[in-house]
A and B are shown apart, each in its own frame.
Chain A
Amino acid sequence: MAEQAAIRHELAANLTVQQIKQLERRSRRESLGRAWYKFSRNPLSIVGVATVALVVLLAIFAPWVTPYPKHAGAFTDFAHAKIPPSLEHPFGTDQIGRDVLTRIIFGLRSSLLMGVVVLALVVPPGVLLGLLAGYYQGTWIDTVIMRVTDIFLSVPPLILALAVASVLKPNLWNGMMAVSLMWWPWYTRLVYGLGVALRNEYFVSAAEVTGASTAHIIFREILPNTISPILTKMSLDVAWVIIIGSMLSFVGLGVQPPEPSLGTMVADGSRYLPDQWWIAVFPALAIVVVVLGFNLLGDGVRDMFAAEEI
């Protein structure tokens, strides 16, 4: 008996040394390959991921890739104001002579920053509350969390953001805080629905009847199964946050001049429509492209996590 146990132990130990890593690597590689296959089956997903990658790279390397990095700040050159698109200024210049292309690329920075920061602020608490309410479905915990969530959901989001931004000093950070305040309930709702369904899965019952702790069930059994829908929602939400951020900037409550922001640029440029159309149209197009890119990416992510057809 002891000998057999020793052999078994060795068997297991041998496995741990080389084969485990190999097995784990192989299974990970296969999962990745399968995920990419499902993602890339729709060509639009590739367009989405390419757009997003390009936008992110442009934003990161803005000072080096833009033709007139100085134009991103408080710069004026009235001699070259309102020049239509030309080789020197592909998207023209604005009312005080700054290169529109340069400012769009710098404007991407605040848009992306907003998307990333808002989601980072919103997802963890939203998910946690959703998990708790879902697990304790039907108890007072569920009632308290979900009714508070409902209250937040019933406040018109833009108005809440405007209110917060107008009470506090209007700037990018307060704008982000405002957007975050109205965004978390969506994640709570999403995870709550998933959690209620998962809670009744037999693998949860199996863990319960064997004596697993509540923390184990919530974080080890339920949470891993909610990751894919959360990621899908996040990739689609980046686009929404960027739109809201642009709206806040448009009405003057987001990024403050001379810092470039797509929303502010559209707002300022709209005064020169239709004659100097390029000042407003190109930043607007940039918003469209970024939002579309993230939406296509999100659709791809959703396909990636979808069940196999066969």
Chain B
Amino acid sequence: MSADILTVTDLKKYFVIGQSGLLKREPITVKAVDGVSFAVREGETFGLVGESGSGKSTVAYTVVGMYRPTAGTITFRGQNPFANKTRPLALKKEIQIVYQDPGSSLNPRRSIKEIIELPLRIHRPDENRIEQVVRLLEMVELPPDYMYKYPRMLGGGEKQMVAIARALATNPSFVILDEPTSALDVSIQGKIINLLIRLQKEFHLSYLFITHDLSLMRNVASRVAIMYLGKICEVAETAEFFRNPYHPYTQMLLSSIPVVSEEEEKLKPQKIISTGEIPSPVNIPSGCSFHLRCPARMDICSRVDPVMIEVEKGHTVRCHLYARASESIPPSEQ
């Protein structure tokens, strides 16, 4: 097993979105991320899955430095990126991000050349820039004359390739992929995904892959973590995860996915159907935040927030059902 490249420990990120009360002004906080811990290993793809409001993007944006954590620590190769007021340039070079919508992540008024040149200018000022831009375009399988195009002249997939080229321009070792294909058609998705996998092997990149698409995750991630309302509720190796989903929310998520074949249908937990609304992150339910929607809810769930338990080697779940980890019942026998 390779070493951890990024460790996130008890990360919390709260946003103050307003104030309540006329006289006694109390801040209204959104606990976007509320005590998240995980580690990404050197060279792997760590999948972070969740629905809107789960805080998965907030985790990503905090790691890349768009936000400062409210509490908790992030360690990148033994270094704390938040040790100083501003992040050292060397770390900005190492940690890069590809955003969800290439329509908004590429400046419409700048040419592809200018877009890819920026990180080169900052991090590799001594190299021949035109040559590097050509090399980067080639790397993402785009012809060199795309340099002189503007984002609006490109298709969605091509734009995302440019965004990937820009992220790789600094020669990073860790890339955050924030739903890199969810704004694209499925016919284009495959090409981007396979490109990302190829580049990962070629440059020994580590990925933090954020998505809401479990089917996609099955095919790209080495390990998967599920987030719900600012907390991680289950982590496991991908194959194990899909074979044995423990957490009731994971099961609900799996059962909700529209699939295209009978074989996949068999993988979906049949007995669980999705109910209830996702609560607002401003008003997170007490105890286990999922208890209102949980089909296996017990008394304790509304009172006590469960802790992470390792139910199998490398497979952890945050649920009272498995509190006695040693004699845990596999979900299929419930």
The answer to whether A and B touch directly, with their CB atoms under 8 angstroms apart, is yes
- Asked whether, in the complex, the Cβ of B96 is within 8 Å of the Cβ of A209, the reply is yes
- Asked whether, in the complex, the Cβ of A8 is within 8 Å of the Cβ of B131, the reply is yes
Q: How far is the CB of B270 from chain A (nearest CB, A)?
A: 40
| Interface residue A206 (Cβ < 8 Å from any Cβ of B) | yes
Q: 1/0 contact trace for A205-229 toward B, CB 8 Å? A: 1111111100010001100110100
| Interface residue A16 (Cβ < 8 Å from any Cβ of B) | yes
Q: How far is the CB of B116 from chain A (nearest CB, A)?
A: 11
- Asked whether, in the complex, the Cβ of B150 is within 8 Å of the Cβ of A8, the reply is no
- Asked whether, in the complex, the Cβ of A20 is within 8 Å of the Cβ of B123, the reply is no
Which A residue's beta carbon lies closest to that of B88? A211
- Asked whether, in the complex, the Cβ of B66 is within 8 Å of the Cβ of A209, the reply is yes
- Contact partner, B148, options A24, A201, A220, A227, Cβ 8 Å: A24
Chain A residues contacting B123 (CB-CB under 8 Å) are 210-211
- Contact partner, B107, options A5, A9, A221, Cβ 8 Å: A221
Which A residue's beta carbon lies closest to that of B166? A206
Chain A residues contacting B89 (CB-CB under 8 Å) are 211
* Known pairs A23-B145, A208-B66, A209-B92; A9 contacts B131 (CB<8 A): yes
When chains A and B are docked, how far (Å) is the Cα of A211 from the Cα of B108? 20
Name, among A15, A206, A209, A224, the residue most crowded by chain B CB atoms within 10 Å (CB to CB): A206
Q: How far is the CB of A296 from chain B (nearest CB, A)?
A: 27
Chain B residues contacting A8 (CB-CB under 8 Å) are 131, 134-135, 138
Which A residue's beta carbon lies closest to that of B64? A209
Which A residue's beta carbon lies closest to that of B91? A211
Q: 1/0 contact trace for A179-223 toward B, CB 8 Å? A: 000000000000000000000011101111111100010001100
Name, among A5, A24, A205, A216, the residue most crowded by chain B CB atoms within 10 Å (CB to CB): A205
Q: How far is the CB of A201 from chain B (nearest CB, A)?
A: 6
Q: How far is the CB of A15 from chain B (nearest CB, A)?
A: 6
Which of B42-50, B97-105, B207-215 forms contacts with chain A?
B97-105
- Asked whether, in the complex, the Cβ of B148 is within 8 Å of the Cβ of A202, the reply is no
- Asked whether, in the complex, the Cβ of B135 is within 8 Å of the Cβ of A201, the reply is no
When chains A and B are docked, how far (Å) is the Cα of A183 from the Cα of B68? 39
When chains A and B are docked, how far (Å) is the Cα of A307 from the Cα of B203? 40
| Interface residue B83 (Cβ < 8 Å from any Cβ of A) | no
- Contact partner, A207, options B108, B118, B131, B170, Cβ 8 Å: B118
* Known pairs A12-B134, A15-B144; A211 contacts B66 (CB<8 A): no
- Asked whether, in the complex, the Cβ of A202 is within 8 Å of the Cβ of B122, the reply is no
- Asked whether, in the complex, the Cβ of A20 is within 8 Å of the Cβ of B148, the reply is yes
Which A residue's beta carbon lies closest to that of B148? A23
Q: How far is the CB of B86 from chain A (nearest CB, A)?
A: 9
| Interface residue B147 (Cβ < 8 Å from any Cβ of A) | yes
Name, among A23, A24, A202, A212, the residue most crowded by chain B CB atoms within 10 Å (CB to CB): A202
Which A1-46 residues have a C-beta within 8 angstroms of B?
Answer: 5, 8-9, 11-13, 15-16, 19-20, 23-24, 27
| Interface residue B77 (Cβ < 8 Å from any Cβ of A) | no
Chain A residues contacting B104 (CB-CB under 8 Å) are 201-203
Q: How far is the CB of B35 from chain A (nearest CB, A)?
A: 24
Which A residue's beta carbon lies closest to that of B105? A202
* Known pairs A209-B92, A210-B119, A225-B108; A27 contacts B153 (CB<8 A): yes
Chain B residues contacting A206 (CB-CB under 8 Å) are 97, 99, 105, 163, 166
- Asked whether, in the complex, the Cβ of B170 is within 8 Å of the Cβ of A210, the reply is yes
- Asked whether, in the complex, the Cβ of A12 is within 8 Å of the Cβ of B144, the reply is yes
- Contact partner, B150, options A16, A20, A27, Cβ 8 Å: A27
When chains A and B are docked, how far (Å) is the Cα of A105 from the Cα of B177? 63
Q: How far is the CB of A211 from chain B (nearest CB, A)?
A: 4
- Asked whether, in the complex, the Cβ of B149 is within 8 Å of the Cβ of A9, the reply is no
Chain A residues contacting B138 (CB-CB under 8 Å) are 8
| Interface residue B243 (Cβ < 8 Å from any Cβ of A) | no
Chain B residues contacting A27 (CB-CB under 8 Å) are 148-150, 153
Which A residue's beta carbon lies closest to that of B99? A202
When chains A and B are docked, how far (Å) is the Cα of A13 from the Cα of B64? 35
* Known pairs A5-B131, A9-B128; A209 contacts B97 (CB<8 A): yes
**Which 6 A/B pairs are nearest by Cβ-Cβ distance?**
A224-B109, A202-B105, A203-B107, A211-B92, A23-B148, A12-B130
A-B contact list, 30 entries, CB within 8 Å: A5-B131, A8-B134, A8-B135, A8-B138, A9-B131, A11-B134, A12-B133, A12-B134, A15-B147, A23-B148, A27-B150, A202-B99, A202-B100, A202-B105, A203-B106, A206-B97, A206-B166, A207-B118, A209-B65, A209-B92, A210-B118, A210-B122, A211-B89, A211-B92, A211-B93, A220-B110, A224-B110, A225-B108, A225-B109, A227-B109
If A15-B145, A210-B119 are given as contacts, then 16 extra A-B residue pairs at C-beta distance below 8 Å, sorted by A number, are: A5-B131, A8-B135, A12-B130, A202-B100, A202-B104, A203-B105, A203-B106, A206-B97, A209-B92, A210-B118, A211-B89, A211-B122, A220-B110, A224-B109, A225-B109, A227-B109
Give A contacts to B, CB under 8 Å. Answer: 5, 8-9, 11-13, 15-16, 19-20, 23-24, 27, 201-203, 205-212, 216, 220-221, 224-225, 227
